[in-house]
Structure 1
Amino acid sequence: MGTTPGFDIYQRWRRPFEVGAWVAFFVLNGIFNSINSRLDHAGAAAWEPWLWEWSSLLVLLALLPGVIALERRWPIRFDNWRRNLPLHLLFSVPFSLIHVSAMHLLRKLGYLAAGRPYDAFGASWWINFGYEYLKDVRTYFVIVGTLVLYRLWRLRQQGEAKLLAAPDEGAPVEPVDRPERFLVRKLGKEFLLNASEIEWLQASGNYVNLHVRGRDYPLRATMAGIEERLDPARFVRVHRSHFVNLDYLAEIEPLESGDARLQMRDGAKIPCSRRYRAALRERFGQPD
């Protein structure tokens, strides 16, 4: 079930790649829009088109983490888009209000520094805001659409785990309520993953990542839902967002705060909250 070397490199540098890609997208868009605006407003001062575009760009970049968090909380998928799409349409209204307000504040400060007056909307403010909202709702859904496509690409490359379903006829070959294996779909192929191979599990939005030999396979589930299906003789909850497989636990390191840090056999470190520490030490054969 190995991934390509290029995807492995991407996984190690995923966060810098994501941040860099978004910054590059907005910066390039700001440069091109500034040049276009300069050509369209030949009578304006040379700095004005750049102020107009970059004030908007900086606010959009500041709003980007919020849009990402909203899409992660209410993701758009084939099974829920009818429910979540109207929510994102509603979210686009405060997105636009914040964008327009902060953008015009930055522009006003820029004009003030240049000793020039700046009238944001004038008498027809509602018409101008309607125009700005039409642009902002498009920007909002370009961001959301990009996040959806990016997630689909990642799942295809990384592999998405699923619980084995009961057959239409006859008894299942293994317990469905406590599966011994998971089905992984990746790059158009299917693999079976033994539950005993899972080293730890970590909550991630609407998914629970199954960590196996340095790779994560997202399973669409909640921590409460997956807890009922894990073998309690092997898996122990150590944190509100983590389960560990005792077979892969190497060391428990107590912390002054009362929490603990777990050292796994592969060198990974997993947080353990004080709520679960005593039970874990007892299971692991150490006195508290």
Structure 2
Amino acid sequence: MIRIKKIYYACLPTRNDRFLWAVVSVVTLAIMAVNALSQLTDAQRRGDELPAYVPWITEATSICFIIILFPILAFIVRRLPLSAETMKKTVLCHIGLSVAFSAVHVAGMVGLRKVIFSVIYGHHYQFFDIIWRDALYEYRKDIVTYLLFITILYLTQALTKRDEALEQVTRQVSHPQKRLSFKSGSDLIWITLAGFSHAKAAGNYVELTADGTTHLIRVTLAALEKQLAGENVPVARTHRSYIVNANHIVAVKPKSDGDANIILKCGTLVPASRRFRANIPSHS
């Protein structure tokens, strides 16, 4: 049971996937009911004696495997992207998979019908007359179902990606990155808080690096540290002359004398003295 649940969530990982499967299941069950009732009506019009249970069993066994196979198709579609670069490979894969889809569908429904008719009604069920002809007949019907399902899945996938992209843009517009301004000589510069990498004391000035650019600003290192901390930047003092953004730390390389070197995302090497090693997040 646990293994089936794992397979279920692997095939339908998101709520949207599971909702789509539910919709497809309801629609196919409705089609099943219409087809079964139509067969009974047609038999009455022709004057044929058709037991009422027969069309319901034949339609239900077919739809049962269609519903089971849909999550597997959803799993496959996620792993066969449809783009200009992958089009040829994806199409060839789907041609082969459509044959497998039809084979599993037909084998499953025929096997289930044989069991039901034999066990419950006590008579033999014969499906195939000329195997290759009947298999081709079923494949013609199944390829339509297969194409319909993968079209729905690819369209849903594309719409989901579009919605996620729009949501990300909306989020960025609604919550723009917060910035701080500083005087750099006669210029007024702006930096994003997330872009702040590190700063180095330079006399009465500080060399501040943010978003890949270094600025010389007139402020003490202690004052800058306090200002950044007040804006919830995870700033850490690693040396009496250096502060860094903890979110930009890539690695800490200890030295034999107890000091260390910090590697930042921008590739800069920043010293960390023993006195301030506890300020480094991975060493606190």
The TM-score with structure 1 as length reference comes to 0.51
Q: Is the 8 A contact 2:21 2:70 kept in 1?
A: no
Matched, 1:285 2:282: yes
Q: Distance in 2 between matches of 1:129 and 1:196?
A: 65
Matched, 1:121 2:128: yes
Cα 1:108/1:80, change in 2 over 3 Å: same
Q: Secondary structure at 1:120's aligned position in 2?
A: coil
Structure 2 counterparts to residues 48-197 of structure 1, below 5 A: 48-112=54-118, 113-122=120-129, 124-159=130-165
Equivalent residue for 1:40?
A: 42
User: Residue by residue, what CA displacement relative to the aligned partner does 1:236-263 show, whole Å, maximum 9, x if unpaired?
Assistant: 9xxxxxxxxxxxxxxxxxxxxxxxxxxx
How many angstroms does 1:71 deviate by?
A: 0.8
| RMSD of aligned residue pairs (Cα, Å) | 3.5
Q: Which amino acid aligns with 2:30?
A: L
Q: Is the 8 A contact 2:21 2:71 kept in 1?
A: no
Q: Which amino acid aligns with 1:285?
A: S
Q: Distance in 2 between matches of 1:154 and 1:72?
A: 12
Structure 2 counterparts to residues 235-274 of structure 1, below 5 A: none
Q: Distance in 2 between matches of 1:283 and 1:135?
A: 65
Q: Distance in 1 between matches of 2:51 and 2:83?
A: 46
Candidates 12, 24, 27, aligned match of 2:26: 24
Q: Secondary structure at 1:106's aligned position in 2?
A: helix
Q: Distance in 1 between matches of 2:176 and 2:34?
A: 48
Q: Distance in 2 between matches of 1:105 and 1:36?
A: 24
How many angstroms does 1:134 deviate by?
A: 0.9
User: Residue by residue, what CA displacement relative to the aligned partner does 1:5-52 show, whole Å, maximum 9, x if unpaired?
Assistant: xxxxxxx95355233212212212222222223233443210111111
Cα 1:50/1:193, change in 2 over 3 Å: farther
User: Residue by residue, what CA displacement relative to the aligned partner does 1:178-213 show, whole Å, maximum 9, x if unpaired?
Assistant: xxxxxx668xxx99987988xxxxxxxxxxxxxxxx
Cα 1:232/1:29, change in 2 over 3 Å: farther
Equivalent residue for 2:241?
A: none
Equivalent residue for 2:248?
A: 233
Q: Secondary structure at 1:126's aligned position in 2?
A: helix
Identical-pair percentage: 22
Higher helix share: 2
Q: Distance in 1 between matches of 2:98 and 2:86?
A: 18
Structure 1 residues without counterparts, runs of 5 or longer: 1-11, 162-183, 198-230, 237-281
Structure 2 residues without counterparts, runs of 5 or longer: 1-13, 178-191, 195-245, 252-278
The TM-score with structure 2 as length reference comes to 0.52
User: Residue by residue, what CA displacement relative to the aligned partner does 1:69-104 show, whole Å, maximum 9, x if unpaired?
Assistant: 111100223553233112111111111111111110
Equivalent residue for 1:222?
A: none
User: Residue by residue, what CA displacement relative to the aligned partner does 1:204-233 show, whole Å, maximum 9, x if unpaired?
Assistant: xxxxxxxxxxxxxxxxxxxxxxxxxxx982
Q: Which amino acid aligns with 1:77?
A: S
Cα 1:52/1:79, change in 2 over 3 Å: same
Q: Distance in 1 between matches of 2:43 and 2:249?
A: 68
Q: Secondary structure at 2:117's aligned position in 1?
A: helix
How many angstroms does 1:283 deviate by?
A: 7.3
